[in-house]
Every structure is written in C-alpha cells, then in structure tokens.
Structure 1
Amino acid sequence: MAENKQSLGDKVKGAVSKAKGEMKDQVGNAKNDKGMQADGKKDKAKGNLQDTAGKLKEDAERR
C-alpha cells in the first residue's frame, strides 16, 4: 500500500510539474522571454520523468 501512494505521488508531482512548465513556456512565449521558456521546458521534462517513475513503480507493484 505504501508503494501505491509513492507511485500516485510521483504521478501527481509529474502532472503539477508539467502544468507549471507549460504555463512558464506559454508566458515566456508571450513575453518573448527565452529564459522563462527554457525553464518551462525544463519543468515539463522533469514532470515527464516523475510521471514515468510513478508508472514504473506502479508496474513493479503489480508483479
């Protein structure tokens, strides 16, 4: 059960990071701020990694 919470936590963190990254990317694009866009892309990549970690943990639980 504890691992199930960990995988869900990773997925939630991933979704938050991706949403935050998308927002930074869009605002950076609107303001023509390349640094903010880069930060947004970094946050989206971090979110994808967190989401993948959650999925891997979930798959490991099932085995």
Structure 2
Amino acid sequence: MPPELICPDCGSEIEDSTDFGVGRRVHFVTVEGDGGVALDPDRTVTLWHCANCNLVVSVS
C-alpha cells in the first residue's frame, strides 16, 4: 500500500483523484547554475491542488 498523502496546510487526507482540485498545466523550467531560468516550451507539468485548501500538493 502506498503511503498516505496528507495536505501539509489543512491536514486533509488525499485518498483518490476526487480529493484533488483541478490540475493546472505549467511549463517546465530549469534553474541554471548562474541563477538563470530556462523555459522549455515543449514540456509541461501538471500541478495538483488540495481540493480543500488549494495548496499545491503534487506534480505530474
């Protein structure tokens, strides 16, 4: 059994996809050694939010 996912802000247990808010797609970025940021416009990730308090709790 995988470990429980608990929202660190509100303490809600995330048991299945209905416990997530709408995932938001954002561009993938890389922070370079000199502090610069490189945007990869062809790659995106989804930020998953706690449905209870809207904190980002996962990335896919």
Using the size of structure 2 for normalisation, the TM-score is 0.26
Structure (1/2) with the larger helix percentage: 1
Using the size of structure 1 for normalisation, the TM-score is 0.25
**Higher RCO (Cα < 8 Å, 6 or more apart):** 1
